Structure 1
Amino acid sequence: MHLPYLFLGIAEAILLGVSLWAANRLVLAVNPALEFESSLLPLVVFSVLLSCCTLSMGVYTALVREGFSSMVLRTLVSFFLLGSLALYLVSSLWDNLIPQALIFWGVLIATAAVLVTRFIFVKAVDADQLKRRVIIYGAGARAQKLLEDLAPEVGALGVKVVGCVPSANEALAVNPELVVPEPQDWLAYVRSAQISEIVIAPDERRRSGGNVFPLSDFLDCKLAGVPSSDALSFCERELGKIDITLLQPSWMLFSDGFKYSKRRSIAKRIFDVALASLFFLMLWPFMLLTAIAVRLESPGPVLYFQTRVGLNGKTFRIYKFRSMRQDAEKNGAVWAKKNDARVTRVGAFIRNTRLDELPQLYNVLAGEMSFVGPRPERPEFVVDLAKQIPFYETRHKVKPGLMGWAQLKYPYGASVEDAKNKLQYDLYYTKNHSFLMDMLIMIQTVEIVLLGKGVH
């Protein structure tokens, strides 16, 4: 996340705590007898819960991609629906931590304060001085691919591409308006242009005709505080994916990541079992109602199972509530399509709400899946995709999950090209997965469930 957005998040977290304090002063003026925990703890709990709700609804992403009005709507849902429910639950379990009389006024004041803060931020963040200025060394096909990948995200990243410097004998592929002549003195140029980073993305690093790669110039810039990054690492860091068109096997071996931790594996397994058990206890009434609805609408079994490919290529049975007609695959396995005619009315609802996935809690308890990981694919598709997409089987180096990084970053896919794009996010997760990343994925998945994103 760009630094100003990080500052916005920190400022809002503090503002949320102040909002509860202000609500407390307001309510006490009316009802002096109200009991309230006189410590920082309720302020911290209030701030953390509403901050998590903010992340879960993708509020910051909406602020950049969808505009202010969409952000306002998501904020209202995250605070008044998710936040209030979470706060009332905490209040009922923890007496006097946050009195229920305070919750409404606390959320109301917090909403107003946060929206005003974000409005001011939107007006300020458009200023160029808040954006990192990046120069791309290269103006060929690789540089153009990088520009295309950055285009949808450039606002969220706070990056301003100043231009592209073509290397010698490179076929120009970028917009000529972006081309910057190669500086005679790189260090002087980056200082005068206030460049924050140089991204190395030429089609060919070796030069002919007596020209050489300007290694010494880039090293001088690095020593002066302007780092250089290769296109693959820049893409990974900024976009949360690993571009397989730039990927070399040696990079996977020698870069940081793609590591195994026995301690983390054990901790994740304990977490999966505990959370799956809790969800079974909490959600069994919804599972029962779903089973009844499926059975009443369409003849056939309530549950539907498929063979999927899991950890290290081992196959297992995945369970779902049936959402299609019983004869949906009488002619063999096919990709699901948008507005698929095979989906029943109940099936459409349980797909949108992800209720059809609940039986997979059994797969989690059985150790075949985790809560977070790449979504498991069918063997028929895996064989075909592995032939067409390089590094595809690398996604099987971690346990598959109920939810994943690719599901957050890329909409539902139903083609080889979609599978290729989603693989880039799966590779990023495989390389960088951690407990904190898993928590963020789970929180942000709430947005997908509530808004029905990525569902076909």
Structure 2
Amino acid sequence: MIRLFKHYIPHAVLLLGLLDFALLVVASEMAWQLRAAQIGMEPGPVSGRWLSLVGIAGVVWLAMIAVGVYGPYALRSLRFAGARLLVAISLGIIALATIDWILPGQTFWRSTLLYAMGLAIFVLVADRLLLNSFLGSSAFRRRVMVLGAGDRAQRLRRLGDRPESGFAIVSYIAMGEPERTVEEAIPREAIHDLGRFVENLGVSEVVLALQERRNSLPLQDLLRIKTKGVHVNDFSSFLERETGRVDLDTVNPSWLIFSDGFSSSRMFSGVVKRLFDIVASLTLLILTAPIIALFAVLVKLDSAGPAFFRQRRVGLFGQDFELVKLRSMRVDAEKDGAKWAETNDTRITRIGRLIRKVRIDELPQTWSVLKGEMSFVGPRPEVPQFVDQLQDQIPFYQERHMVKPGITGWAQINFPYGASTQDSRKKLEYDLYYAKNYTPFLDLVILLQTLRVILWPEGAR
């Protein structure tokens, strides 16, 4: 994997993304040449329009990222990738046509974009037909050796067996655990020189998966492996990188303290984040004011009660603030106290079901973003009653309040709607990953991927 601004990207996905971008530039140039020939115009040198070519490719490429073209199924399902490509290219061309209408230029015309759309679909689908099996092959999987043969080693086996996994386990070494789960593990005493054994297998990474590490760390083995130039990783850090979440079953306070994350560079990132929040929230409030007003009227007509729903939520450093949303439930929905939303919740109104699916009920929250109580990206703010319960039941739950709550977040784009303590625990693992590895780049990824959640709202309730 490549680490880009503290966020890991699989080699195969990065290579495919860069190749796609180059092909989009080529498709844009071919579209220009085709349109110029059609109207009998001299196309002129490429140097005079390279910026437009890159701009067109960039807009379509961002749309591809947003709808999940490079998600976990991108390398194993051509049908899945093809459907997302069609949506992404269509959205990208619509966005480009809108930009051309607002800021008309003299190099690219909207009629050229139609050719670019067809050519882009052709080259990107052809690209995947040729490379799909190659990018998903073992050539792009890291060769991993696991030190351990217990339950943790078994968890790594299940993770590595997934089709979208970026690594392949080539050997398990039993380190004398009392309970061996992985039967084919090689006893450590059967290997004379572990360093040479690692070299012979072409291992690129060794993961320490011992259940109990006190007085049992194989320091001499780890040193020998490290001096061979092989990366050594502990179990929790490996899971964090491969799954995009902090595994609560294995982490402890010392791991959170000494592992990479929560860096001091956040001061600069925080300033960038706040400036973006102010500009984006002002712009969004102005642009969506008619939409909010329209649905506020529809909410009033659909059911008795106010158009807006107000509720106390827990924000930064555990401070309460008032959250405002378009009301999607009956006014008596919480007469017996706050409770989790359920599938096919009878408390949700007819209009409420619609605005929840397309996230329109969230739009008034941009006012909280403008005031600085929330950000666009961050953990979802919870009701104080739930927070009190969850802090008693889930370790490290209070750490999610070390960053501002957000309208969207890493947990929201990676995990469906949570409606139980167990779901909250799983979402906390994603929230901790975000709090630990936050950068403006990760915020950009989350904002783009939110479009996928809106278009395919599997978890909306």
Secondary structure (helix, strand or coil) at the match of 1:155 reads coil
Q: Structure 2: give runs of 5+ residues left out of the alignment.
A: 1-8
Question: Which residue does the alignment assign to 1:247?
Answer: 251
Aligned residue pairs, count? 447
Confirm or deny: 8 A CA contact 2:410 2:431 kept in the other structure. yes
Confirm or deny: 8 A CA contact 1:2 1:157 kept in the other structure. no
Determine the C-alpha separation between the residues in 1 that align with 2:97 and 2:137: 40
1:64–1:25 distance in 2 versus 1, CA, 3 Å: closer
Confirm or deny: 8 A CA contact 1:131 1:160 kept in the other structure. yes
Q: Structure 1: give runs of 5+ residues left out of the alignment.
A: none
**CA-to-aligned-CA distance 1:358-408 (integer Å, 9 cap, x gap):** 010111011100000111111101000000111000000000001100111
- Structure 1 residue 276 displacement after superposition: 0.5
Question: Which residue does the alignment assign to 1:273?
Answer: 278
2:238 partner letter:
F
Provide the alpha-carbon RMSD of the alignment: 1.9
1:67–1:358 distance in 2 versus 1, CA, 3 Å: same
- Structure 1 residue 266 displacement after superposition: 2.3
1:67 partner letter:
S
Determine the C-alpha separation between the residues in 1 that align with 2:49 and 2:151: 58
Determine the C-alpha separation between the residues in 1 that align with 2:42 and 2:327: 51
1:180–1:122 distance in 2 versus 1, CA, 3 Å: farther
- Is 1:69 matched up with 2:74? no
- Structure 1 residue 35 displacement after superposition: 8.1
Determine the C-alpha separation between the residues in 2 that align with 1:189 and 1:354: 54
Determine the C-alpha separation between the residues in 1 that align with 2:404 and 2:419: 22
Matches within 5 A, 1:402-413: 402-413=407-418
Question: Which residue does the alignment assign to 2:98?
Answer: 89
1:101 partner letter:
S
Q: Which moved more, 1:363-372 or 1:119-128?
A: 119-128
- Structure 1 residue 220 displacement after superposition: 2.2
Q: Which moved more, 1:188-197 or 1:336-345?
A: 188-197
Q: Which moved more, 1:231-240 or 1:137-146?
A: 137-146
- Structure 1 residue 151 displacement after superposition: 5.4
**CA-to-aligned-CA distance 1:222-254 (integer Å, 9 cap, x gap):** 222211100111112221111122212122223
Question: Which residue does the alignment assign to 1:78?
Answer: 88
- Structure 1 residue 116 displacement after superposition: 1.1
Determine the C-alpha separation between the residues in 2 that align with 1:144 and 1:317: 45
1:119–1:35 distance in 2 versus 1, CA, 3 Å: closer
Determine the C-alpha separation between the residues in 2 that align with 1:74 and 1:366: 36
**CA-to-aligned-CA distance 1:94-148 (integer Å, 9 cap, x gap):** 4124311110111110111011111222121243233111121112123334444
Question: Which residue does the alignment assign to 1:401?
Answer: 406
Question: Which residue does the alignment assign to 1:318?
Answer: 323
Determine the C-alpha separation between the residues in 1 that align with 2:312 and 2:196: 60
Confirm or deny: 8 A CA contact 2:160 2:166 kept in the other structure. no
1:417 partner letter:
Q
Determine the C-alpha separation between the residues in 2 that align with 1:224 and 1:362: 55
Question: Which residue does the alignment assign to 1:19?
Answer: 27
- Structure 1 residue 448 displacement after superposition: 0.3
1:157–1:51 distance in 2 versus 1, CA, 3 Å: farther
Matches within 5 A, 1:208-219: 213-219=217-223
- Is 1:56 matched up with 2:60? no
1:230 partner letter:
D
Determine the C-alpha separation between the residues in 1 that align with 2:107 and 2:283: 24
Question: Which residue does the alignment assign to 1:180?
Answer: 186
Question: Which residue does the alignment assign to 2:197?
Answer: 189
Confirm or deny: 8 A CA contact 1:35 1:99 kept in the other structure. no
Confirm or deny: 8 A CA contact 1:35 1:96 kept in the other structure. no
**CA-to-aligned-CA distance 1:294-329 (integer Å, 9 cap, x gap):** 111111111001111000000011111111111111
Matches within 5 A, 1:322-337: 322-337=327-342
- Structure 1 residue 206 displacement after superposition: 4.3
Question: Which residue does the alignment assign to 1:205?
Answer: 213
Segments of 4+ moved more than 6 angstroms: 34-37
Secondary structure (helix, strand or coil) at the match of 1:316 reads strand
1:104 partner letter:
L
Q: Which moved more, 1:358-367 or 1:185-194?
A: 185-194
- Structure 1 residue 214 displacement after superposition: 3.0
Equivalent in 283, 286, 293 of residue 291 of structure 2: 286
- Structure 1 residue 221 displacement after superposition: 2.1
2:229 partner letter:
G
Q: Which moved more, 1:343-352 or 1:189-198?
A: 189-198
**CA-to-aligned-CA distance 1:9-54 (integer Å, 9 cap, x gap):** 1111111001000111111111134888823101110111111101
Confirm or deny: 8 A CA contact 1:241 1:427 kept in the other structure. yes
Secondary structure (helix, strand or coil) at the match of 1:60 reads coil
Question: Which residue does the alignment assign to 1:232?
Answer: 236
In the superposition, the TM-score normalised over structure 2's length comes to: 0.92
Question: Which residue does the alignment assign to 1:160?
Answer: 168
Determine the C-alpha separation between the residues in 1 that align with 2:106 and 2:395: 57
Secondary structure (helix, strand or coil) at the match of 1:161 reads strand
Confirm or deny: 8 A CA contact 2:328 2:361 kept in the other structure. yes
1:427–1:282 distance in 2 versus 1, CA, 3 Å: same
Determine the C-alpha separation between the residues in 2 that align with 1:65 and 1:39: 33
Equivalent in 149, 172, 186 of residue 139 of structure 1: 149
Confirm or deny: 8 A CA contact 2:37 2:43 kept in the other structure. no
Determine the C-alpha separation between the residues in 2 that align with 1:67 and 1:291: 41
Question: Which residue does the alignment assign to 2:55?
Answer: 45
Equivalent in 254, 257, 262 of residue 258 of structure 1: 262
Confirm or deny: 8 A CA contact 1:59 1:74 kept in the other structure. yes
1:389–1:34 distance in 2 versus 1, CA, 3 Å: farther
Question: Which residue does the alignment assign to 2:304?
Answer: 299
Determine the C-alpha separation between the residues in 2 that align with 1:151 and 1:323: 42
Equivalent in 4, 22, 37 of residue 12 of structure 2: 4
- Structure 1 residue 184 displacement after superposition: 2.8
Q: Which moved more, 1:212-221 or 1:22-31?
A: 212-221
Confirm or deny: 8 A CA contact 1:55 1:443 kept in the other structure. yes
Equivalent in 350, 354, 357 of residue 345 of structure 1: 350
Q: Percent identity?
A: 38
Question: Which residue does the alignment assign to 2:6?
Answer: none
In the superposition, the TM-score normalised over structure 1's length comes to: 0.93
Secondary structure (helix, strand or coil) at the match of 1:165 reads strand
